[in-house]
């Protein structure tokens, strides 16, 4: 099998669970050297050990620019280049226009939008001298349609989509492609509190929640199955690969057709 990412170096944020973990494994299987970023040191180091010599873990809080800068520097120090940044880290939330607080706004926007903006900034500073690269941002159909996420989550994901277009235009002349992936309802722990909540439950409890969620999502998607983390990981591999060298400023919806079921009046 051809390794689609052979000799490429990829940074993946939010790498210890869900989409990030699936992407880390798939990128490595496709020949990439991977830099895994997350807050959970134990889980991050365990995943790096599982992947082997082609992976390192860097403890990172993506909501802080200094951490994003240090993450890129760590990749350069170990591997000498950065070919891909997958800005994947995030968390769900269920705010409304009437319930948001200043603290909620600061936390959600820093995590979901700020991490992308500063990830792009620091990836660009090393990709420009090397002649290019691929930046992939995890957006969401919540940024395109109502009823797919909380008030702040949806607004932040819409910002991610637009950051993608703006950055792709600005950085395209330097050979840097900037694209987004907008997942639909993907069966991951984000639906029951994210990786932090999942870590407090037993394997059996998490599996029971995943089984129930998978069944429910299959009934709410035109393609009659739930989306899985690997579905997004496959899309990310494509956008990171040389097969996608003429794709820029694009937001790729990967949702089994769910977005077609919702209009902005619902």
Catalytic residue check, 153: yes
Q: In the structure encoding, which two tokens stand for residue 213, read together?
A: 């969620």
Q: In the structure encoding, which two tokens stand for residue 214, read together?
A: 């998978």
Q: Is the dihedral of CA 50, 55, 58, 60 positive or negative?
A: negative
Phi-psi category of residue 130: left, alpha or beta, with phi > 0 → left and psi -120 to 50 → alpha? alpha
**Alpha helices, H only, the chain:** 18-29, 41-51, 65-79, 102-109, 115-130, 151-171, 194-198, 203-218, 229-240
87 DSSP β-pair partners: 137
Q: DSSP 3-state assignment of 251?
A: strand
C-alpha 6: how far from chain center: 21
Catalytic pick from 153, 185, 217, 240?
A: 153
Residue with tokens 């998490």: 206
Query: How many other CB atoms sit within 10 Å of the CB of residue 151?
Result: 19
Distance CA 73, CA 170 (A): 22
Q: In the structure encoding, which two tokens stand for residue 173, read together?
A: 């002349």
Residue with tokens 């990709």: 127
133 DSSP β-pair partners: 176
Residues involved in catalysis: 153
């Amino acid at each position: 099998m051809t390794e689609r990412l052979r000799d490429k170096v990829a940074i993946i944020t939010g790498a210890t669970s869900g989409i990030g973990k699936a992407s880390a494994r798939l990128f490595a299987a496709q020949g990439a050297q991977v830099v895994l970023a997350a807050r959970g040191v134990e889980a991050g180091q365990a995943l790096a050990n599982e992947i082997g010599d082609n992976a390192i873990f860097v403890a990172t809080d993506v909501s802080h620019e200094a951490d994003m800068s240090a993450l890129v520097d760590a990749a350069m120090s170990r591997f000498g280049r950065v070919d891909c940044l997958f800005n994947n880290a995030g968390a769900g939330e269920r705010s409304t226009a009437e319930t948001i607080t200043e603290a909620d706004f600061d936390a959600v926007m820093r995590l979901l939008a700020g991490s992308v903006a500063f990830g792009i900034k620091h990836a660009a500073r090393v990709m420009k001298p090397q002649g290019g690269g691929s930046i992939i941002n995890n957006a969401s159909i919540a940024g395109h349609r109502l009823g797919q996420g909380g008030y702040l989550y949806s607004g932040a994901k819409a910002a991610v989509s637009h950051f993608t277009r703006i950055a792709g235009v600005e950085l395209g002349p330097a050979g840097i492609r900037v694209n987004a992936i907008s997942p639909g309802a993907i069966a991951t722990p984000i639906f029951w509190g994210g990786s932090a909540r999942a870590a407090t439950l037993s394997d059996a409890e998490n599996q029971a929640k995943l089984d129930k969620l998978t069944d429910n999502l299959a009934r709410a998607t035109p393609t009659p199955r739930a989306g899985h983390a690997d579905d997004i990981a496959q899309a990310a591999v494509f956008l990171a690969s040389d097969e996608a060298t003429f794709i820029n400023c694009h937001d790729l919806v990967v949702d089994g057709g769910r977005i077609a079921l919702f209009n902005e009046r619902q």
